[in-house]
Amino acid sequence: VVEPKNVKSLSEAILVLVKNKEKRIKMGTKSLDRFNKLFSYDKIINDYINLHKEIVDYNNKSNKDKII
């Protein structure tokens, strides 16, 4: 990980990856694992369902306050 907007640090990190195949593969594998955890279909669907429930609950609560 490099500091944002630090071109020198970024270029050094890229050179390390260019020279070290094992590190590239390890980082790539870890990145793919992280992506799959954060953006799997099951996670996205569950997040969407939870958002939908929150919206419905919010609307139900708001509508209760409007009952005459």
Listed in sequence order, the DSSP H helices in the chain are: 7-19, 21-39, 41-65
68 vs 66: CA distance, rounded Å: 6
Q: Is residue 19 part of a domain?
A: yes
Indicate if the pLDDT at residue 14 is higher than 90.
yes
Residue 67: the pLDDT is 62
Q: Is residue 2 part of a domain?
A: no
Residue 62: the pLDDT is 84
Q: Which domain holds residue 31?
A: 7-65
Q: Is residue 22 part of a domain?
A: yes
48 vs 45: CA distance, rounded Å: 5
pLDDT in tens, 25-67: 999 999 999 999 999 999 999 999 999 999 999 999 888 776 6
Does residue 56 sit in helix, strand or coil?
helix
